[in-house]
Amino acid sequence: MTRIPPIAIIIPHGGYAVPEELAGIHALEPFDLFFEADSCARDIFRLADGLCERFETDISRVFMDVDRPPMDLPPRTADGVIKIETPTGRSVYPEGVFPDEIAIANMLRRYYFPFHTAIEKAVSSKRVRLILDCHTMMPVGPEHSVDAGSPRPLFSVQNLSGGAGGGDRTAPDRLAEALLENLQKSFGAETGTVAKRFTLNAPVFPTYTAGRYGTGRVPVLRLSVSRALFLTDRYFNYERMKVDAARLDAIRARLESAITRFMEKNLQPGGKF
Q: What is the pLDDT along the chain (273 residues), one digit of tens a residue?
A: 345 578 999 999 999 999 999 999 999 999 999 999 999 999 999 998 888 899 999 999 999 999 999 999 998 888 899 999 998 899 999 999 999 999 999 999 999 999 999 999 999 988 899 999 999 999 999 988 889 999 999 999 999 998 767 889 999 999 999 999 999 999 999 998 999 999 999 999 989 999 899 877 799 999 999 999 999 999 999 999 999 999 999 999 999 999 999 999 998 777 778
2 within domain boundaries:
no
Q: What is the pLDDT of residue 254?
A: 98
160 within domain boundaries:
yes
Q: Considering the entire predicted model, what is its pTM?
A: 0.94
271 within domain boundaries:
no
Task: Note down the domain range covering 30.
Answer: 7-266
Q: What is the pLDDT of residues 175-222, one digit of tens each?
A: 999 999 999 999 999 998 999 999 999 999 989 999 899 877 799 999
**For the chain, how many structural domains are there in total?**
1
Secondary structure, 3-state, the chain: CCCCCCEEEEECCCECECCHHHCCCCCCCHHHHHHHCCCCHHHHCCCCCCCEEEEECCEECCCCCCCCCCCCCCCCCCECCCECECCCCCECCCCCCCCCHHHHHHHHHHHHHHHHHHHHHHHHCCCCCEEEEEEEECCEECCCCCCECCECCCEEEECECCCHHHCCECCCHHHHHHHHHHHHHHHCCCCCCCCCCEEECCCCCCCHHHHHHCCCCCCEEEEEEEHHHCCCCCCEECCCCEECHHHHHHHHHHHHHHHHHHHHHHCCCCCCC
Domain of 235, CATH number, reads: 3.40.630.40
